[in-house]
Amino acid sequence: MTDPQELTMEELRDRIRAAGVTIAEHRLAMVRKLLADALAPVRALDSRTIKTVEPAVTFTPAREVGNE
Partner 1 sequence: MNEETFYATIRELGARYRKRDLSPVEVTHALLARIERLDPVLHAFVTLTADRALADARAAEEALGRGDGRALLGIPVAHKDIYLTRSIRTTGGSALLADWIPENDATCVRRWREAGTVLLGKLMTHEFAFGIQLPGHRFPPARNPWNLDHIPGGSSSGSGAALAAGLVSGATGSDTGGSIRGPAAFCGVVGLKPTYGRVSRAGVLALSWTLDHAGPMARTVEDCAYLLQAMAGHDPADPASSRAPVDDYLAPLARDIRGVRIGVPRAYFFEGIDPEIERAFEVAIETLRRLGAEVRDVQIPSLHATHSFLLILMAEAFAYHERDIRHHPELYGDVLRERILTGALVTAAEYTQAQRIRAQICREAAGVLREVDVLVTPTTLKPATPFTLAQDPEFGFPKSNMPPFNLTGLPTLALPCGFSSSGLPLSLQLAGRPFEEGAVLRVGHAYEQATTWHTRRPPL
- Binding region for partner 1 (CB under 8 A): 12, 15-16, 19-23, 27, 30-31, 33-35, 37-42, 44-45, 47, 50-54, 61, 64-68
- Listed in sequence order, the residues at least 6 apart from 52 whose beta carbon sits closer than 8 Å to its beta carbon are none
Work out how close the CB of 17 gets to partner 1 at its nearest, in angstroms, rounded to a whole number: 10
Contact (CB, 8 A) for 23 and 16: yes
Contact (CB, 8 A) for 9 and 32: yes
Work out how close the CB of 11 gets to partner 1 at its nearest, in angstroms, rounded to a whole number: 10
User: Quick one: 3 or 68, whose CB is closer to partner 1?
Assistant: 68
